[in-house]
Amino acid sequence: MPELPEVETTRRGIAPHLEGREITEVIVRQTRLRVPVPADLVDRLVGARVLEIRRRAKYLLFSLEGAEAMTLLWHLGMSGSLRIARIGELPKKHDHIDLVLDNGAMLRYHDPRRFGFVDWLAGSVEQDRRLARLGPEPLSAAFDGQRLYSLSRGRRLAVKPFLMDNAVVVGVGNIYAAEALFLAGIDPRRAAGRISAERYDRLAAAAKEVLVAAITQGGTTLRDFVGGTGEPGYFKQRLNVYGRHHQPCRRCGVELRLVTLGQRASVFCACCQT
């Protein structure tokens, strides 16, 4: 699934095709997603105009103007993708939802594992329980080494799952947590509470650096991720550790190790990361 760079790539790819357009038809082929597709989705979307598509963490927020103002929340889960397709393009397996637009294009949602979902925002961003308690955006000034340092004091959790905690910072998933820790030279198994402020400064900077680089490359395509225009992402070639266990470290040549932390595969270099 998409982590923040993939969701942002999706947003940038689809927004120009949707913003300002009216939704003329909605086709739902599968209602059983992680959250059941809202029963009133079609009725409320048809005839509505897309004002803006924003992103918060790994959620896409569609601001809509119709009979009423409303916001649609779209999460891509592990295997979801949204892309622009031509009207009339035959749906493939796992193409669950289409939003047909008044400009001859449509937005098509594909999600084999169905861990993603679409739902109405409950009130405001501050009120919706899915968004209300999220930590800061990783590319914002609110996310820095000082935040990591202060939140981690006394915690014995390994630093990698700590960095992936959405209350700490959002958008850093398994790929980019591993990559950021490699760039910062920190062992992912180290207890979060036993890392210095100086090293957390480096970790925050490394996380920003790797996320920006991945967005620039259109995200990371592992299996079938495609951005909003159907293009794969090219960051995979730039990965230093994720998915490279038992291969040599690009920096020192030592064989990369694989461990499990927080039930997630974690690859690191025992030589470069301490």
Residues with active-site annotation: 2-3, 58, 264
Residue 233 as a binder of DNA (CB under 7 A): the answer is yes
Residue 10 as a binder of DNA (CB under 7 A): the answer is no
Closest CA to 80 of 228, 263, 236: 228
Of the candidate residues 19, 24, 115, 208, the single one contacting DNA (CB under 7 A): 115
**Residues 241-270 vs DNA: string with x where CB under 7 A?**
---------------------xxxx-----
Binders in 52-91 for DNA, by CB under 7 A? 57-58, 75, 77-79
Residue 237 as a binder of DNA (CB under 7 A): the answer is no
Of the candidate residues 40, 86, 88, 223, the single one contacting DNA (CB under 7 A): 223
Residue 192, burial from CB neighbour count under 10 angstroms (0-12, 13-18, 19+): buried
- Measured from the CB atom, the residue of 221 and 273 that comes closer to DNA is 221
Binders in 140-179 for DNA, by CB under 7 A? 155-158, 161-162, 164, 166, 173-175
Beta bridge partners of 83: 108
Q: What is the CA angle 138-143-146, rounded to 5?
A: 145
Give 217-226 contacts, CB < 8 A, sequence gap 24+.
217/5, 218/9, 219/2, 219/3, 219/5, 219/6, 219/8, 219/9, 220/3, 220/5, 220/6, 220/175, 223/79, 224/79, 224/81, 224/112, 225/1, 225/2, 225/6, 225/81, 226/81, 226/83
Q: Residue 167 CB, nearest distance to DNA (Å)?
A: 9
In whole angstroms, give the CA distance from residue 109 to residue 28: 10
Of the candidate residues 3, 95, 119, 179, the single one contacting DNA (CB under 7 A): 3
Number of residues that bind DNA (CB under 7 A): 43
Residue 185 as a binder of DNA (CB under 7 A): the answer is no
Residue 136 as a binder of DNA (CB under 7 A): the answer is no
Q: Output phi, psi for 207, to 5 deg.
A: -65, -45
- Start-to-end C-alpha separation, the chain: 29
Of the candidate residues 49, 114, 208, 251, the single one contacting DNA (CB under 7 A): 114
Of the candidate residues 1, 37, 99, 184, the single one contacting DNA (CB under 7 A): 1
Q: Which residues lie near DNA (CB under 7 A)?
A: 1-3, 6, 32, 34, 57-58, 75, 77-79, 93-94, 112-115, 130, 155-158, 161-162, 164, 166, 173-175, 192, 219-225, 233, 262-265
